[in-house]
Amino acid sequence: MCGIVGYVGNKNAQDFLVSGLKRLEYRGYDSAGIVTLSDEGTATLIRAKGNISNLEEKLAQNKRNDKIGIGHTRWATHGEPSEINAHPHQAGKIFLVHNGIIENYKELKKTLNEHEFKSETDTEVLAALINSFYKDGQHPLTNAVVQALKLVKGTYGIAVVSELDPTEIVVARSGSPLIVGVGHDETLIASDASALVGHTKQAIYLNDGEVARLTKNSIEIKTLSAEPVSAKVEEIETNLAAIQKGGYDHFLLKEIMDQPESLTETLRGRIHAEDGTVRLGGPGLSETELRKIKHLIIVGCGTAYHAGLLAGYYIEKFTPEITIETVIASEYRYRQAYIPENSVALIVSQSGETADTLACLREIKKQGVKTIGIVNAIGSTIAREVDGGTYVHVGPEISVASTKAFTSQVVAMVMFGLTIAQAKGVRNSILRPYVSEIAKLPSEIAKVLESNRDLVQEIASQYKDFEHAIYLGRDTAYPTAMEGSLKLKEISYIDANAYAFGELKHGPLALIDDRFFEIAFLPDGELYEKAVSNVQEVLARGGKIVAITNVDKFDLDVENVVKIATELKIFAPILMNLISQLFAYYITVAKGLNVDQPRNLAKSVTVE
Ligand code: M6R
């Protein structure tokens, strides 16, 4: 949510700030702003409502050659998207950009009578609070920031500059990521490594409770209680190609089409089709610990939650004596749930920064339960706080709608399940079909995407004017239906809901009429005939069905059918989900909507 950038060095700060904000735009895009300081300390503050291109237009009239500055792209929490609510916020001589939420901002505001508030934001309250300790430069900026942060309840990643010292940026974090890029005679900051790519490969990931004073050639990090911190410089792994569209019209299509390669990265060195085994290093559990596992809690939000549901359906099919509970992080963090002995928690998150998922991780750890991350973003907070983990390695996912991460999260969790099953002594003949299908998934994904893209585009155009959709499936096709409906609603704004086929006659069947169309997932298998009967029930009520199936002989008289030619049986629902992804993409393009940046959403939800 929101993006922060900052620069101090010898180059033009505006140039880095704008290019960095463009890279972070997927995190929040309802307003943006930058402030730069001249060598004498004169500030130029430019803000604009809407996306970064609006800010660029304004900057074109205000070109500066300042060598220090901070910038922000916003996803509104307090106060509507507007220029006045956009960051940076000013109080006295200081300027502040902030990600996160200051929960006690109302109480703090009451104590700040000297400041004339212009915006409705919690961030301006923090700026005024820092300024009240800074007293126009009578105290060092770092001290003022620390004093203020000690009074704050909530989450923050912040960057502060002052007109009184145009050589330093002060940054701090608690619950919202901040990365310091280490350059030659320059220091950069960003809330996401993608903004640093091409500028430096060396980065320091700040930890919660740390504050740093940055100049072009020094980085001093301390804790809020003034303990010095010796910084660990890490290598940024992302490259430029990974954060560009690579010839596609939208990041979403690129990320959908990337899946053969991104899943290959997830599997690299982990899947051994020749002997039907899986070897995962990351979780760091011994054979004895794996054997003892009796209960798996899988925690995530949105798509990560759906990935957990689907993986749970698979794992319980081949792992004996294990119960699996997949939970929504925002609910679970406040439940008084009993966690049985010998439980392990899988913490699933593409960004590794989702506030609710992170809060669950911390709650679960307090109970002494081992936590394993299924995370994409390397060095993210969740990745650093779990006891062990398996990175999914899909590379940056820029489009707000999550696609390639889903596929790899499901497979990574199934591989973890297989690791448990191996340790528990499940016969290789039972596990081998799973391993061998996983090994074939990348090439099957490539086939399915290539051979169905045009057909799905044509079908999608037929439904672009509908307002309602129902997604239906059973067994592993049910979480697949849930994920498909989320994808459609979040980018096309079509009201889409998912139901288990068996639930239809317990209520949702009443909905079927001309305003709805239905997407039915019909994988070959034990429950296929039952699902076909459910489809008949919908057809009998005038339903308009789009069937997605891998049954070659499928001959129901439905409006549209996508037949997936694949040798895979077990993981056919993963392939069907690709059709959902393409369908949501093409319908959104046909409606002329913003595919990569749907309204009201942001990529990484770092606030509760
Ligand atoms: O970064 P995370 O995987 O923790 O994000 C979880 C959800 O916010 C995310 O999957 C969201 O539902 C996507 N926009 C769905 O496409």
For the Cβ of 490 lying below 6 angstroms from any atom of ligand 1, the answer is yes
- What phi and psi values does residue 190 have, to the nearest 5 degrees? -160, 150
116 Cβ neighbours under 8 A, 6+ residues apart: none
Task: Encode pLDDT of 235-283 as tens digits.
Answer: 998 888 778 888 899 999 999 999 999 999 999 999 999 999 999 988 8
**C-alpha distances in Å from residue 479, one per residue of 159, 208, 473, 504, 574:** 41, 35, 8, 15, 10
Environment class of 179 (CB within 10 Å of its CB; exposed 0-12, middle 13-18, buried 19+): buried
- What phi and psi values does residue 300 have, to the nearest 5 degrees? -170, 180
Distance 481 CA to ligand 1 centre (A): 16
In whole angstroms, give the CA distance from residue 174 to residue 210: 8
- What's the confidence (pLDDT) of residue 573? 98
**Whose CA is closest to atom 16 on ligand 1?**
401
**Atom number of ligand 1 nearest to Cα 400:** 14
In whole angstroms, give the CA distance from residue 364 to residue 255: 32
- What's the confidence (pLDDT) of residue 79? 82
Contact between residue 568 and residue 441 where contact means Cβ atoms under 8 Å apart: yes
**CATH dotted code for 245-426:** 3.40.50.10490
The domain ranges of the chain are: 3-242, 245-426, 452-594
- What's the confidence (pLDDT) of residue 304? 98
Report the DSSP pairing between strands 31-37 and 3-8.
Answer: unpaired
- What's the confidence (pLDDT) of residue 284? 85
Contact between residue 123 and residue 167 where contact means Cβ atoms under 8 Å apart: no
Does 245-426 match 452-594 in CATH topology? yes
C-alpha Rg value of the chain to the nearest Å: 25
In whole angstroms, give the CA distance from residue 304 to residue 308: 6
188: helix, strand or coil: strand
Distance 400 CA to ligand 1 centre (A): 8
Residue at token pair 């001309």:
514
Contact between residue 14 and residue 66 where contact means Cβ atoms under 8 Å apart: yes
In whole angstroms, give the CA distance from residue 560 to residue 595: 24
**Whose CA is closest to atom 14 on ligand 1?**
401
**Atom number of ligand 1 nearest to Cα 351:** 1
How far does Cα 286 stand from its chain's mean position? 30
**Whose CA is closest to atom 6 on ligand 1?**
301
- Spans of the chain below 50 pLDDT: none
Angle at CA of residue 380, ends 374 and 386, nearest 5°: 50
Task: Encode pLDDT of 408-429 as tens digits.
Answer: 999 999 999 999 999 999 999 9
Residue whose C-alpha is closest to residue 211's, from 168, 254, 261, 271: 168
Contact between residue 368 and residue 269 where contact means Cβ atoms under 8 Å apart: no
* CATH class of domain segment(s) 452-594: alpha beta
- What's the confidence (pLDDT) of residue 1? 67
In whole angstroms, give the CA distance from residue 120 to residue 123: 9
Angle between helices 404-423 and 572-590 (to 10 degrees): 170
Strand partners, 540: none
**Atom number of ligand 1 nearest to Cα 357:** 4
- What's the confidence (pLDDT) of residue 40? 97
Active site residue 301: no
For the Cβ of 409 lying below 6 angstroms from any atom of ligand 1, the answer is no
- What's at 501, amino acid-wise? F
Across the beta sheet with 323-328, what order do the strands follow? 323-328, 295-300, 343-349, 370-375, 388-391
- What's the confidence (pLDDT) of residue 526? 93
For the Cβ of 194 lying below 6 angstroms from any atom of ligand 1, the answer is no
For the Cβ of 308 lying below 6 angstroms from any atom of ligand 1, the answer is no
Q: Point out the catalytic residue in the list 2, 216, 301, 360.
A: 2
For the Cβ of 192 lying below 6 angstroms from any atom of ligand 1, the answer is no
CATH 3.40.640.10 is the classification of domain 3-242: no
24: helix, strand or coil: helix
Distance 70 CA to ligand 1 centre (A): 27
Q: Give the helix/strand (H/E) hosting 190.
A: strand 187-190
Backbone torsion region of residue 55, taken as left when φ is above 0, otherwise alpha when ψ lies between -120 and 50, otherwise beta: alpha
In whole angstroms, give the CA distance from residue 203 to residue 427: 45
Q: Taking every pair of C-alpha atoms in the chain, what is the biggest distance, in angstroms? A: 80
Report the DSSP pairing between strands 210-215 and 165-174.
Answer: antiparallel
**Atom number of ligand 1 nearest to Cα 601:** 14
